[in-house]
Structure 1
Amino acid sequence: MITRDPSAFLDAARGCAADFGPATARAAFLVAPDGFARAEQSAGDNRYMAAAGFDATRALAEHRGLHRALSACLPTVCFAGVPATPDAVFPNNVFATVAGRCLVARMRHPVRQREAARADIRGFFSDVLGYALHDLSTQPHPCELTGSMVIDRARGLGFCGLSERCDEAGARLMHEAFGLRATLMFELAPGEYHTNVVLAVLAGRAALVCADGFADPALAATIAGLYAPHALMLSAEARAAYAGNAIALGADTVWMSARAQRALGEAGRFALRAAGFRVAAVALDAVEAAGGSLRCCVGEIF
C-alpha cells in the first residue's frame, strides 16, 4: 500500500515482520568530488548549500578519507567524478538498488539528470553485477530515490517526503520499483528538499527524526513512535549540522559526519548505544558545503 494516511500506514507497518530483506547493504559505492563546485541549479531549492567558499582540494581529501573508512567496514567502490556534474558526490539520489535490480532516478535539475546517463555506473550494475536496470529517468515525474525516500529495508517500509524533488506520482513509481510493502507520503516543511536530511531509519530498529523538517511535526512524532524506544528526536541545530543524514552500515555501526556527531551530543550517542550502535564519524566539512553529508555520499548495494 501507498498512502498519505498515517493511521492506515501504521496499521500496516506494525504488522510487517523484519523479514523483507537485509537491513543494511552488502556493499557501497561513492562518486569522487572531481570538479567540486557550487551547482547553481541545485542551490535554487537546497538551503543547505553554501553560498561560497567551496574548497575542491579539501573536499577530495575528505572524500578519500570517507572511502578509506567505509572500506574497513564493507566493500566500497568509488567512481571518478565528472566536472560537468558537480553534485555527483551525492549518488544515492540518482542510483539505488534492491536485490538484482538497479534503479535510476528522474532528477529534477538538468545538471543532475546528466548523472543518470553515466554509462560507466550503469554498466557497473548491469554488466559487472548483472543487475537489471529499472530506469525512471525518462519519465516526467521527479523521484530522487533514497534522498526523497527513506527506507526501512528490514520491513519493506518507505517514508517519502514530497517536495520539488519528488512529487506524488514519482513517489508511487519508487514504491513500485523498490517493491515496498507500505509507503507513507507526506509533505516536507517549506525549504526542505530531501527526506534523508530530516529522517534516518537505522537497520530497521532505530530512527533519527527532525520534527521541524516535516510540514506536520506531529507526523514526525508518529514515525518516531514506530521505532520507540530507539527513536531520537533531533533539534533544529542538530538537523542543520546533518545529524539526521546518517546511515547504518552493518548491524552495529551508524555513520555520520564529524560535524553531525558533535551536534548529536553525548545524550544522542548514548541513545544510539542503547539501540546497539556505535557512532563512526568522518570529517566532511568541505563536502557539506555542497548541501549534503555522509548519507548522501553513500550509494547502497543490496
Structure 2
Amino acid sequence: MITRDPDVFFTQAGRLAADFGPATARAAFLVAPDGFARAEQSAGDNRYMAQAADFDPGRASAQHRELQRRLSAVLPTICFAGDPDTPDALFPNNVFATGRPDAARQPGGAPRYLVGRMRHPVRQREAGRADIRAFFGQVLGYEEVDLSLQAHPCELTGALVVDRVRGLGYAGLSERCDEAGARLMHEALGLRATLLFELAPGEYHTNVVLAVLAGRAALVSPAGFAEPALASAIAGFYAPHGMILAAAEHAAFVANSIALSADRVWMSAAAGRVLAEHTRAGLAAAGFALETVELDAIEAGGGSLRCCVGEIY
C-alpha cells in the first residue's frame, strides 16, 4: 500500500507485525571525502550547505576516518575511495541502498541492492561507480535494482526513511523525490506500506527531518513538514518513544541520526551539543545510549552523520 492519507497509513501500520526484517543493518559502507568541495548544483536546493570558503577537505577527511573507526567498533564498516569528480559522494546512502524481501512472506529471499536516480548531474555520476556495484553484485551476490536511468528522482534513504522492522516507508516529496520515484523505491524494497507527504519548502531530504531508530523510536522535526501535524502523528505512532524536535535541534541535524545496533544512536557532536534534555531522556528511555562524532567539516556539505552511512541489510 502506498498512500497520501495518514489515517489510512497508520491504520494499516498498526496492524502490521514487527517481522519484516532485522531492525538494524548487519554492516555499513562509507565513501571517502576525496575531493570534498562545494557542489554548486547540489547547493541549489540544499540550504544547509556552506559557502565554498568554509570547506576544509583535510579536516573533513580526518573526521570521516574517525567516523569509520568509531562505527567499526559496532559493526563491520568498509570505506570506498572517493573521486574528485563527485564532491558529494561522501553521502552514499542517497545513491545506493540495500534490502531484503519481507521475511515473513519470503523467508530466505535473495537480498538486493538499489541504485537511485539523483536529481543533479554531479550526483548522477556516483550511480555509475563500477566498484560499488561490483561489491554488491559480485562480492555479496545481491540482485541489482537499477533506478538510475529512469526519469523520476528517487534519492533512496535520503528521501525515504524506512522502518525496517515493520516494512514501512516515509517518503518526503521534494525536487529530489517525486511521487513516481517514491513508488519505485517502495516496490524495489518490497515495503508493506509507504506514506507520501510534502516536505516543507527549503527541505531537500526526509532524513534531515525524521529518523526512525531500530523500529522503536522516532525523532521528528515538525518544521521540516509542509503539514506539521503529520510530524505529531508519526511521533504518536512510535509513542512513548516518539520525540518532537525543537528548531535548534532541527538546524543542528539531530534528526540526521541512525541506530546501527539495538542499543546505540549515532549523531554528530554538534547535534549532541544542542540535544534538549527531554530528547536525551527520551532516547535513554527507549534503551539507546548516545554516540557522537565531530563532523563539523563534513556538515559544511549540507549533510551529517546519517547521510554518510550506507546500510547493508
Which residue number corresponds to residue 201 of structure 2? 190
Cα distance in 2 between the residues matched to 1:20 and 1:43: 36
**Correspondence for 2:117:** 106
The runs of 4+ residues in structure 1 deviating greater than 2 Å are none
After superposition, what is the alpha-carbon deviation per residue over 1:26-66, rounded to whole angstroms, capped at 9, x for unaligned? 00000000001000000000000002310000000000000
1:37 maps to: 37
Q: Distance in 2 between matches of 1:4 and 1:277?
A: 31
The within-5 A match list for 1:109-258 is 109-258=120-269
1:51 matches 2:62? no
Residues in 2 aligned to 1:265 and 1:33: alpha-carbon distance in whole angstroms: 30
- SS of equivalent to 1:126: helix
2:292 and 2:278 map into 1 onto residues whose CA distance is: 16
| TM-score normalised by the chain length of structure 1 | 0.99
Separation (CA, whole Å) in 2 of partners of 1:16 and 1:264: 32
* Counterparts of 1:186 and 1:263, CA distance in 2: 27
Letter of the aligned partner of 2:289 in structure 1?
A: R
Length-normalised TM-score, structure 2: 0.96
Partner of 2:302: 291
Amino acid at match of 1:180: L
Specify the alignment match of 2:10 in structure 1.
10
Structure 1 position 264, deviation (Å): 1.1
Amino acid paired to 1:188: L
Q: Which amino acid aligns with 1:70?
A: L
Task: Give the equivalent residue in structure 2 for 1:69.
Answer: 70
- Structure 2: distance between partners of 1:289 and 1:79: 21
Distance in 1 (CA, whole Å) between partners of 2:223 and 2:276 is 19
Please state if 1:97 is matched with 2:108.
no
SS at match of 1:159: strand
Find the counterpart in structure 2 of residue 300 from structure 1. 311
For the residues of structure 2 that align with 1:13 and 1:178, how far apart are their CA atoms? 16
Letter in 2 for 1:203: A
Q: Deviations over 1:223-272 (max 9, x none)?
A: 11100110110011111100010000110100000001111133321110
Q: Percent identity?
A: 73
**How large is the RMSD of aligned CA atoms in angstroms?**
0.6
Residue type at the aligned position of 1:81: G
Letter of the 1:151 counterpart? V
User: What runs of 5+ residues in structure 2 fail to find an aligned partner?
Assistant: 101-110
Instruction: Look up the SS of the partner of 1:260 in the other structure.
Output: helix
State the AA in 2 paired with 1:84. D
1:249 is paired with a residue of what secondary structure?
A: strand
- Where structure 1 has 5 or more consecutive residues not aligned to the other structure, the ranges are none
By how many angstroms is 1:106 displaced? 0.3
